[in-house]
Amino acid sequence: RIRTVHAFIMGQSQSAEIPIANPAPPAVPSTTPLANEVTLGAGCYWGTEKYIVKDFQKLFPNAVKSASVGFMSPAKDHQKNPSYRQVCSGATGHVEVLHLTLSEPEKHYEELIRFFFMFHDPTTKNRQGNDVGSQYSSFIFTHSDSQRVVAERVVRELQGHISRGTLSSFEGTEVKTKIGEATVFYPATEDHQNYLAKNPGGYCNHYMRFKAWPLA
């Protein structure tokens, strides 16, 4: 691009053509709107469902519009419609997850990701307590770029708190939670939905590891 500049030099008006850089394009937002679908793996999905559907909503009433437990694979080329037994074998690569829809993701998504880290151990790779295998991974499947940005920021915050000793509620000292793009969600059978609501004494190795997210 060429721009003409006029100037007065020694009492005379002169002009010159000066090349200048093209103007920068308008800024493009780095993220998309927060999706209302959320998929989280935190070990056995019975406990994940209970803590989010019941306990998270004690803090944020009506935050969850719908929720279902099931399976999701990090790989796009994965076995379709795996059974519970197949997933538990660890051979399919699927993760036990809670798949939910938020009523107001802009208000609740970041709060949910923080709460997610409060009831499971993100420092034990492919394990929660006695449950061992990739199906029990700590995993955040993202449904939009903005979800990924938020998840990565919260993970950095959490790692900072662990490294500084602000939080000492976990077995390890390095966050092993994986963040990956969501693929296909496969619902579990009906008898596994709302399992702990139907069976209050059922198996659950989750518990609240700390009561509030540290401020600094």
- Could you give the C-alpha distances from 44 to 101, 145, 164, in angstroms and in order? 19, 27, 29
Burial of 190 (0-12, 13-18, 19+ CB in 10 A): exposed
Catalytic residues: 44
Predicted confidence (pLDDT) per residue in 59-72, tens digit: 999 999 999 999 99
Predicted confidence (pLDDT) per residue in 17-43, tens digit: 433 334 333 333 445 789 999 999 999
Task: Kindly tell me if the per-residue pLDDT of 4 is higher than 70.
Answer: no
Q: What distance in Å separates the CA atoms of residue 132 and residue 135, rounded to the nearest whole number?
A: 8
Whole-number pLDDT of residue 53: 98
